[in-house]
Structure 1
């Protein structure tokens, strides 16, 4: 359970409209560039500093991410930033969109690397299983190879697939900081 109380998208929208709240998106820049709640301030979780909010201490702080999970898991860190009142957007950006509220969306910005890795690894593992069933049992090695790669990425923090995906043309200009 989160240390931060939750606020609904509708109540947050009212606070944003009357200027009593600040919405802080804790995702990474590439995620934010693709899609975010209009008016949200990007302050990635890795770089949050208490002094980032000196001018907004009197406003209600609402933290968000895509689904609300990342925010809930880091509630203790976020509470330590010194706001008089702080909340977690219940359901994050996903709930905001489900409520039909406005977002900024740029389809030219690729999915974040983590999601690309999940799609690529999942696709390769599924392909290996299907080929092993339909063509030859040795194709199961493809699924095993992908699983071993994910295990090593988790243990070491190095993900070869993410490194390869970062070199792809659709990612190059966004990961180099050329786009914002």
Structure 2
């Protein structure tokens, strides 16, 4: 996805925790609309439903997910994929589309193990290690500040903004 296409998505990225993606369900009858200029296949354009987890701080209403936003520490990386841990679980990001659109990630550049990153993308699969097709992956400076704020940012968006 090119930078110019980001404004054409039908909904903003929703901040989520990895553990919340593990139990999402595919909404086969709902497609992401307004995604133009991408090579997303039909599966990557499916919406997902994130169910509220009773008793958890994220005990919000169910949320429909199209594009998700996670932040976490890099556990493993390769030029084509990355695995991060956000404190609740792991997520794998497929980076092929990011590399096509972002010269910084071009070639064989690998994000360093231990780096703190933002990972934004569409959900390809869920389970123990959910997989995203990344549309953005960037290392964040001042990692300690971002780590400290991340849980509050997710909880705030899910409780107050995403309703």
Bin of the TM-score, shorter chain as denominator length: under 0.3
**Which structure shows the bigger proportion of residues in strand conformation?**
2
TM-score, structure 2 normalization: 0.23
Higher gyration radius (CA) = 1
TM-score, structure 1 normalization: 0.22
